[in-house]
Amino acid sequence: MRSEKGFTLVELMIVVLILGALAAIAIPRIMGGAQTARISACSTNIDMLNSQIEMYNANTGAWPTALTDVTADPNYFPDGAPQCPLGTTYIYNASKRINPHSH
């Protein structure tokens, strides 16, 4: 009598199907979470830029003429200007603010 131990092809196929189903559920959730994190980081950057624009006005008594007046100054951004994680450009508008852009 042979007593070989191992898995049958059917058992292996069931395991592969279960793993495939779990991956089909998990991957979209992970990808959605990454996009949500990028949107949140972008909003945080906009808040920080607007805060530093206000600080520039408080320190100098004038609004910056361009966003680079603030972002290029190491007193306001010692590590450099924040970059949008979504790949878009922050625009300094006539109301002296950075408006949120569509995601």
Kindly report the pTM of this predicted structure: 0.70
Share above pLDDT 70 across residues of the chain, in percent, rounded to a whole number: 95
pLDDT in tens, 27-58: 888 877 888 899 999 999 999 999 999 999 99
Partner residues linked to 98 by β-bridges = 92
Calculate the dihedral angle through the C-alpha atoms of 58, 63, 66, 70, rounding to the nearest 10 degrees: 0
Give the Cα separation of 66 and 63 in Å (integer): 9
Per the document, the length of the chain is 103
pLDDT by residue (tens digit) across 1-17?
566 777 888 999 999 99
Which two structure tokens, joined as six digits, stand for 47? Answer: 């808040």
d(CA 15, CA 21): 10
